[in-house]
A and B are shown apart, each in its own frame.
Chain A
Amino acid sequence: MSEETSPQRVAIGISFGNSYSSIAFTTGDGKAEVIANEEGDRQIPTILSYVSGEEFHGTQAKAQLVRNPRNTVAYFRDFLGKDFKSIDPTPAHQSAHPKEHEDSIAFSIKDSEEDVENERTISEITTRHLRRLKNSASDYLGKTVNAAVITVPTNFTDSQKEALTKAAKEAEIEVLQFINEPVSAVLAYDARPEAKVSDKIVLVADIGGTRSDVAVIASRGGMYSILATAHDYEVAGAQLDQVLIDHFAKEFIKKHKTDPRENDRSLAKLKLESEAVKKALSIGQSANFSVESLADGIDFTATVNRTRFELLANKHIASLTRLITHAVEKAELDVLDVNEIILAGGSSHVPKIARSVQSAFPEGTTVLAPATSPASINPSELAARGAAIQASLIQEFETEDIEQSTHAMVTLAPHISKAIGVLCISESTEHGVFRPLIEAETPVPVRRTAQIATPREGGDVLIKICEGIREIKVEKPEAKPKENGKKDGDDEDEDDSDIDSDEEPEEIRSKVWKAGTALAEAALKGVKKGAKVEVQINVGADLSVQVVAREVGGKGGIRGNIEKPAVTQNGSA
């Protein structure tokens, strides 16, 4: 920890989303806090609106979607750095429409006092949005913010990042680093003081407004590697809103014979109120829907309870769960391999989503969402918090240092493909119980230490180091055992749990370890009765392995090296 401060950098974390953005900073004692803007919002709608030359931002701009949709720009994050042909303008249908502008995208809006339409490029719009975020943060902190770590989706291209860097620079924000949204969420959890860094497989499901992203991440001693990602633009918060829009529209038609969805302004009102109802249903069991002059000048009020909403949204929630299990398959893992699920994004507040995900995974899997875990962090704040923590870690670095540490380094880490561990109980490879010390997908170099029990009677002990292969054992009398491949998995020796699958409802699947290639044997002589043996395995960057074994509390011990692959020979101390 160096104390040198480079030219007064004030860095924050920014989560820049299509629907909402958040800003966060890190307090003196290292805790990340999300900043509320002047209106008191922590989730700031990514919307800009202009009324006779005056700029509105966030919630105020969102309200303008009803009266002033054509001068309101919304859902533009994913348009940045793209050419017109490759974008899907659907989310922006109810606001200013994106237009082709040279090789990028622009909006025609009346943003000056004169009644003329101005072409504003997507980059200009982004700059204005970031400037407002920056100003809110600066006001709160009492210092001018000039740097930030910004979160981006995992499939954000380099040209999108470049465009965002440029737009941020225009807003006088130095982008210290782009970090992936799911990784930011994991960091937000791992940075809590009570969190223990361990080796685990974490799945992050970021369910946003216009898109849902899932990432499977191997967390190894606080280092994160993304194993697989999945994206979906069909099911997200907007579809859940649509369910309520349709529900209320039908109720309205029943009473008044007009469809409020056919009128733009009515639809905009319906949409805003439906989103509010959805949010209320995440907290309470029922919510009121109430819009003044919804259509034909008729006021409309109605109530809906959570059960009804869940029933209506069932189809969408099921496809979200499918998206998540699909990502696990894509990572060539089994649901049993996943230790923790982090639900992020605004729609993760919906209790049914968390419960649906929980039921798709074994009981031992922690689902971190407000509905399923009291220890969970607000899903809307995860990305911004992670970014703030990262910002506080690197804000003292030189720009060059950040570049060097984030580029060449990253790609250069080989990950162990099979778990390495100690074979306990029996000396024969076939009957031994494998205990993993280093999990598969751990980047090298790595060092792990564990204590293992010795035979009760003590005496001379053989320590056998080998690779382990994770298999899924399916126990079910009549069903034919289906093997989900011999993937190298990880964690916990055995984890029996029931899985509800449609065709074989009672099968019991469990994770078992099979010993693979034996790597080394070591003998410890004269171990005391009941003593424990400490084994430390060091894997070098070149994949050579160093093993140290000694009796706990004892002196000496043995050490030996296993050469890197290709050459095998006896090691020496």
Chain B
Amino acid sequence: PVLPAGWAADKDFKATGTLSAPTPRNVEPVGPHFLAHARRKRHQRTFSEDDRI
């Protein structure tokens, strides 16, 4: 979309809302991607930290 005239925000970014309530669900503990997820969660790493390792 084209930037409308007169649009301005701090550092060009404006948050206007937040996410809707999530649904709590179980992830199936299966497959390589889950194991990577579990590893991140247990070591409390973020994606980028995990990428570096």
Q: Taking CB as reference atom, which chain B residue is nearest A564?
A: B18
A466 vs B7: C-alpha distance in the bound complex, in angstroms? 18
Closest 10 pairs (CB-CB, A-B): A222-B33, A560-B13, A414-B22, A460-B3, A406-B29, A405-B38, A565-B18, A224-B28, A523-B12, A427-B1
Say yes or no: is A89 at the interface (Cβ < 8 Å to chain B): no
A523 vs B14: C-alpha distance in the bound complex, in angstroms? 9
How far is the CB of B53 from the nearest CB of chain A, in Å?
11
A394 vs B39: C-alpha distance in the bound complex, in angstroms? 12
A461 touches B25 (CB 8 A): no
Say yes or no: is A569 at the interface (Cβ < 8 Å to chain B): yes
Interface residues of A, Cβ cutoff 8 Å to B:
177, 179-180, 183-184, 187, 190-191, 197, 217, 221-227, 386, 389-390, 393-394, 404-406, 409-418, 420, 423-427, 432, 441, 443-445, 447, 455, 459-464, 466-467, 516-525, 538-539, 541, 543, 545, 547, 558-573
A180 vs B31: C-alpha distance in the bound complex, in angstroms? 12
User: How many residues does chain B have at the interface if contact means C-beta atoms less than 8 Å apart?
Assistant: 40
B11 touches A461 (CB 8 A): no
A378 vs B23: C-alpha distance in the bound complex, in angstroms? 35
A522 touches B14 (CB 8 A): yes
**Partner among B3, B17, B18, B29 whose Cβ is within 8 Å of the Cβ of A461:** B3
A441 touches B23 (CB 8 A): yes
- Residues of A contacting B38 with CB < 8 Å? 405-406, 409
Q: A415-B22, A560-B11 are in contact. Are A520 and B16 (CB under 8 A)?
A: yes
**Taking each of B17, B24, B46, which has the highest tally of chain A beta carbons within 10 Å of its own beta carbon?**
B17
Q: Taking CB as reference atom, which chain A residue is nearest B44?
A: A541
B26 touches A226 (CB 8 A): yes
How far is the CB of A434 from the nearest CB of chain B, in Å?
12
- Residues of B contacting A445 with CB < 8 Å? 40, 46-47
Q: A409-B41, A414-B24 are in contact. Are A547 and B2 (CB under 8 A)?
A: no
A517 touches B20 (CB 8 A): yes
- Residues of B contacting A455 with CB < 8 Å? 1-2
Q: Name 25 A/B residue pairs within 8 A (Cβ), A-sorted.
A: A177-B29, A183-B30, A184-B30, A187-B30, A222-B31, A224-B27, A224-B31, A405-B38, A409-B29, A412-B41, A413-B26, A414-B24, A441-B23, A444-B22, A455-B2, A461-B2, A467-B19, A521-B13, A538-B47, A543-B22, A560-B11, A560-B15, A561-B15, A572-B10, A573-B11
